[in-house]
Amino acid sequence: MNTQHSSQFLMQNYARFPITLIKGEGVRVWDDEGKSYLDFVAGIAVNTLGHAHPEMVKTISEQAATMLHCSNLYFNPWQNELAEKLAMLSGLDKSFFCNSGAEANEAAIKLARKYFHDQGKAKYTVITAVQSFHGRTMQTIAATGQDKVKQGFAPLPQGFKHVPLNDIAALEAAIDDTTAAIMLEPLQGEGGVNLANIEYLEAVRALCDEKGILLMFDEIQTGIGRCGSMFAFQKAGVSPDILTLAKGLGGGVPIGAMMATDKVAASLSAGSHGTTFGGNPMSCAVALTVLDVIAKEELLANVEARSKQLIAGLQNIADAHSIFDEVKGDGLLLGLAANIEVAPIVNACRENGLLILMAGPKVLRFLPALNITKDEVAEGLDILGKSIEGLNL
Ligand SMILES: Cc1ncc(COP(=O)(O)O)c(C=O)c1O
């Protein structure tokens, strides 16, 4: 196996850390030198059940021996069942399956435009939040409210506007006759762990209803239990017309989903959109297992309990060091915001056996598997605290 930390054969589009991971079990991963790490990254909110969960291993091996792929020219029972399960869980009606978050958002943007096109209305603009992140395809970088992802890719697709999060007056001012949809992350992950407050989401829903605009929630990072409810919007009690999912849905197997109410979904008529791999038997069978295990192991309750523990521990660290401003986020998508750049802390943690992430230059981000135990959270906090102390910041 080639375990080098660089390769002339790979595009250099990732600023990777200098370790090569070769094995995972639960919330622990190992590198090629045999060193183990506690994994508070979970593949960026993907490994919902940690690594090598026995139920996932069983599903994957059984499904590989049964059917991996058969094309959307035909029905397959796993896709049917997953769509039904997601409808029951979310209250939305229909699903379109794809392979990633960006693809789910592409489908959402296409659906919003098609929905108004079908009514003969020239409504196409999608309003998103400043600091939002919606993916890396051309449409989704145009949708993303961060300039850094757009550099060098002009001309970008037209029809996107960005407004500050939690500012209803700014949103109202941005709406015009062309506005088709408002797309929001209930909790911004990549943009700095910024929570949309409930009053804001309620006001956005009311505004959308009043003006005939679609509300789309991008729950690619927050969905599938990460925030303590199956979907973050359920905590706020505000339902979208369109919902996008990916990451945690497959627990490590690539899958994305774009869901919508019946009324809106009707515009994605036969031939209007599609993908070769989306919704194949393997990805759907695994997603069904992820959802089953979340219920069977009562992981939503675990997320809430571990979240409280992690927040309390992070708060203690914040109180002890003036470089930190606040603990933010929800469930197991938490941030520790600093007034200095935090990359040295991420590196020190890794050297001491803990993988954590950043959300922008000054926010540490923690998003472990939903089945992390009390002892593992305590161990992670201990390594974090010692790593910070060792740096003398
Ligand atoms: C909220 C949100 N939307 C969309 C995406 C894009 O997902 P993908 O990388 O699977 O295309 C991400 C990825 O980080 C995300 O966090």
**Residue 71 amino acid letter:** S
Q: Whose CA is nearest to atom 8 of ligand 1?
A: 101
Cβ contacts of 261 within 8 Å, gap of 6 or more: 92, 93, 94, 241, 242
Query: pLDDT by residue (tens digit) across 94-131?
Result: 999 999 999 999 999 999 999 999 999 999 999 999 99
Global pTM reads 0.98
Q: What is the pLDDT of residues 1-38, one digit of tens each?
A: 787 787 899 999 999 999 999 999 999 999 999 999 99
Say whether pLDDT at 302 is over 80: yes
Q: Is the peptide bond before 155 cis (omega within 30 degrees of 0)?
A: yes
The pLDDT score that the predictor gives to residue 3 is 77
**CA gap 49, 226 in Å, rounded:** 11
Mean pLDDT, rounded, for 266-291 = 98
- Pocket probe for ligand 1: among 41, 149, 220, 367, the residue whose CB has the most ligand atoms within 8 Å is 220
CA–CA separation, 227 vs 372, rounded Å? 14
Average pLDDT, the chain: 97
Establish how many alpha carbons lie within 13 A of residue 219's alpha carbon, considering only the half-sphere containing its beta carbon: 30
Cα 363 to ligand 1 centroid, rounded to whole Å: 18
What are the structural domains, with CATH classification, of the chain?
21-53+298-391 (3.90.1150.10), 55-296 (3.40.640.10)
Give me the mean pLDDT over the 222-233 stretch. Answer: 98
Residue 101 CA to ligand 1 centre (angstroms): 5
For 126-162, how does the pLDDT look when each residue is reduced to its tens digit (9 = 90+)? Answer: 999 999 999 999 999 999 999 999 999 999 999 999 9
189 lines ligand 1 (CB under 6 A): yes
Q: Which residues are catalytic?
A: 133, 218, 247
**Rounded Cα–Cα distance for residues 137 and 332 (Å):** 27
Given a contact cutoff of 8 angstroms between Cβ atoms, the answer to whether 129 and 165 are in contact is yes
